[in-house]
Amino acid sequence: MNALLDVRGVSKSFRGLKAVQNASFTILEGSIYALIGPNGAGKTTIFNMVAGVFPPDSGSIVFQDKPINGLRPDQVCAAGIGRTFQIVKPFAGLTVLDNVVVGALLRSKTVSAAKSYAAEIMEKLGLGAKRDLPASSLTLPDRKRLEVARALATRPRLLLLDEVMAGLRPTECDLMVEVFRGLNRTDGLTILLIEHVMRAVMALAQHVGVLHHGEVIARGTPAEIVRDPAVLECYLGEETEV
Amino acid sequence: MNRRAATLLAVLGVVLAALPAFAGNYLLSVATLILYLAFAGQAWNVMMGFAGQLSLGHSLYVGVAAYVAGGMFFHYGLGPWAGLWLAMLVCVLMGAAIGFLAFRFGISGVYFALLTIAFAEFTRIGFDHLGWTGGPGGMFLKVAQRDQIDLANFRGPPAMYYYAMLALAAGAFALCAWLLRSRAGYYWQAIRENEEAAQALGINTFRWKMIAVMISSAMTAVAGVFFAFYYNNLFPEQIFHISRSIEIILGPIIGGVGTLFGPILGAAVLTVLADGITELLAAFGWEIPGIKQVFYGIVLLSVIMFLPNGIWPFMAKKLRL
């Protein structure tokens, strides 16, 4: 398999704080990659650099063999990377359908083509019945779904999910997992997952990278990661003889 | 649009088209003013109502366009049909300059609004010192021969101005209805609702905000040219004054920001009620200076308190349109 996204030695400091240091990882085409780590490990900083919110201080981010660091968020999206926001940002005054249409317009020639594609995506995510409601009336799980639907409507090759499971109940979380697994299997969508909810990570990810204090301290399959001493240490503390 | 709405629109269209046949000059001037405010409000609505960029300095475009087209007529005898294009060009360039400065350097929200006021204000001061336009003494266009129509120079009876303004208002409505349903409308509304999310969906927010400002300023320029040839006298102190900008935005705010009928309804309600009350008080022998502004304030307060989305969304619901 080819590398779809290659993050090569990126670093980012905010004033004195080194948020991310020399982090590297590779996401293969058609895979689901999870980036985990304790709070403040630098996950969201990496996410934002990939999404074009700010450029890395050093290192490079290569998507489909082209460097994308320094591009604006809209250019990153146009290049084929869709994203969700950890704190959902629906277009509250628009209907649910129109929210998705905005995303679909990126690769649709006409508004009517965008509308029919948006309707298709909404059916896939189980939002079809709510298409004409104002987005402000949705519950949190539906807002998260809308966030995903909007990003998917831009027809990304790579989907970035920023803590999309946070705040969901286990059953709702399992439903989301099914959605992503379906997208990955049937549409071949590549997914980068930043997640705290291990239930989702274990169920979805084929590869996991663990960040700690801005550095990648472990890489592997979910089964390898949960047995890795370095990972256990950063989450639970050092093992001591009693 | 359903059948009730279509019927109402048709009735309104017929009444407006037939108005000069039974209305006197006073009524016609009120109707022209309403249509003028509806048109300018529609233009402002493109920027604020659609794209969420608050301008409190739209008098800038009215004034500059009025002076450009008026000046060409006054100095060179050039009719408004040619002057209009030049006025639009100048206004679009000014709008683009303001938009570029603001959007390039991340000035948004109230700070953007302040910037628009600042541009209108220093243009006013600049025009006070500009000899070509007559400075603070004003510029006066030759008053029309009221009984004959001279279309080339846009001089004629009140009915001609009324029909011109009616056509402009209808055109602005159609343009805005089309824009709102087009790609631009979706992008603008996305930017209005959440700019960060809009950009994450691949929208070049800088470009689309610039387009909104340029369309809005071009439309407002048309209003300015009409203003010059309708009122025939231009003073920097009046035309660039912030109260002129407020007058433009009151209609859409009271009628419903971001709606298509809001600017029209708001302009009609404000003008009819304000003029009506002034007339009524005058009939009782009370001439109270500034009563119009007090009245505007009361209407604005009540709308904000009871109908924060404006009158139109409420009315549309009640009338089941």
Give the mean pLDDT of A62-68: 95
Alpha helices in chain A (DSSP H): 43-51, 73-79, 96-104, 111-124, 140-153, 170-187, 198-204, 222-225, 229-236
Hey, which residues 93-132 in chain A have their CB within 8 Å of chain B? 93-94, 98, 101-103, 105-106, 111, 114
A79 touching B (Cβ < 8 Å): no
Is residue A147 in some structural domain? yes
Chain A nearest-CA distance from B45, in A, is 16
Of B186, B192, B199, the CB nearest to A73: B199
Is residue A134 in some structural domain? yes
Would you state the torsion angle of the CA atoms of residues B225, B40, B28, B160, taken in this order, to the nearest 10 degrees?
A: 40
For residue A239, name the pLDDT band (cuts at 50, 70, 90): low
Is residue A103 in some structural domain? yes
Question: Cα(B169)–Cα(B116) distance, rounded to whole angstroms?
Answer: 24
For chains A and B, count residue pairs whose Cβ atoms are closer than 8 Å.
73
Per-residue pLDDT 10s for chain B (321 aa) are 678 888 888 999 999 999 998 888 889 999 999 999 999 999 999 999 999 999 999 999 999 999 999 999 999 988 899 999 999 999 999 999 999 999 999 898 899 999 999 999 999 999 999 989 898 989 998 876 667 888 888 888 889 999 999 999 999 999 999 999 999 999 999 999 999 999 999 999 999 999 999 999 999 999 999 999 999 999 999 999 999 999 999 999 999 999 999 999 999 999 988 888 888 888 888 877 878 788 888 888 998 899 989 999 998 888 877
Give the mean pLDDT of A103-118: 96
Counts for chain B of helices (H) and strands (E), in that order: 14, 2
Q: What is the ipTM of this complex?
A: 0.91
Task: Print the domain residue range for A122.
Answer: 90-154
Q: Which pLDDT belongs to residue A1? A: 63
Question: A74 and B205: CB-CB below 8 Å?
Answer: yes
Residue A116 has pLDDT above 70, yes or no: yes
Chain A nearest-CA distance from B167, in A, is 28
Question: Cα(A146)–Cα(A91) distance, rounded to whole angstroms?
Answer: 10
Q: Which of A182-186, A237-241, B89-93, B310-314 has the lowest mean pLDDT?
A: A237-241
Question: Cα(A141)–Cα(A162) distance, rounded to whole angstroms?
Answer: 14
Q: Which pLDDT belongs to residue B4? A: 84
Domain boundary among the residues A154, A183, A203 is at A154
Is residue A227 in some structural domain? yes
User: Do residues A111 and A218 share a domain?
Assistant: no
User: Do residues A110 and A143 share a domain?
Assistant: yes
Bin B134: left if φ > 0, else alpha if -120 < ψ < 50, else beta: left
Domain boundary among the residues A127, A154, A181 is at A154
Question: Cα(B127)–Cα(B208) distance, rounded to whole angstroms?
Answer: 31
Residue A72 has pLDDT above 90, yes or no: yes
User: Do residues A135 and A228 share a domain?
Assistant: no
Is residue A43 in some structural domain? yes
Q: Which pLDDT belongs to residue A88? A: 93
User: Do residues A120 and A238 share a domain?
Assistant: no
Question: Cα(B219)–Cα(A131) distance, rounded to whole angstroms?
Answer: 34
* Three-state SS letters, A101-118: HHHHHHHCCCHHHHHHHH
Q: Which pLDDT belongs to residue B112? A: 96
Would you state the torsion angle of the CA atoms of residues A219, A222, A226, A229, taken in this order, to the nearest 10 degrees?
A: -20
User: Do residues A68 and A165 share a domain?
Assistant: yes
DSSP secondary structure string for all residues of B182-228: SHHHHHHHHHHH-HHHHHHTT--HHHHHHHHHHHHHHHHHHHHHHHH
Q: In this structure, are residues B72 and B83 in contact, taking their beta carbons and an 8 Å threshold?
A: yes
Of A94, A98, A103, the CB nearest to B201: A103
Question: A102 and B183: CB-CB below 8 Å?
Answer: no
User: Do residues A210 and A228 share a domain?
Assistant: yes
First to last CA, chain B: 7
Is residue A85 in some structural domain? no
User: Do residues A210 and A173 share a domain?
Assistant: yes
CA distances from B64 to B112, B122, B221, B299 (A): 20, 12, 8, 30
∠ at Cα A143 (A39, A195), nearest 5°?
Answer: 25
User: Do residues A111 and A131 share a domain?
Assistant: yes
Domain boundary among the residues A106, A122, A154 is at A154
Residue A70: phi, psi to the nearest 5?
A: 95, -10
User: Do residues A144 and A168 share a domain?
Assistant: no
User: Do residues A161 and A150 share a domain?
Assistant: no
Two tokens at B108?
A: 């948004």
Q: Which pLDDT belongs to residue B212? A: 98
Q: What is the CATH number of the domain that holds A165?
A: 3.40.50.300
Chain B nearest-CA distance from A76, in A, is 8
Q: In this structure, are residues B216 and B54 in contact, taking their beta carbons and an 8 Å threshold?
A: no
User: Do residues A166 and A213 share a domain?
Assistant: yes
Work out the mean pLDDT of chain A and round it to a whole number: 92
- Rg (chain B; Cα; Å): 20
Q: In this structure, are residues B220 and B91 in contact, taking their beta carbons and an 8 Å threshold?
A: yes
Q: Which amino acid is at A213?
A: H
Residue of B250, B230, B197 whose CA lies nearest to B58: B250
Q: Which pLDDT belongs to residue A242? A: 62
Is residue A165 in some structural domain? yes
Is residue A47 in some structural domain? yes
Number of domains in chain A: 2
Q: In this structure, are residues B249 and B41 in contact, taking their beta carbons and an 8 Å threshold?
A: yes
Question: A89 and B189: CB-CB below 8 Å?
Answer: no
User: Do residues A51 and A162 share a domain?
Assistant: yes
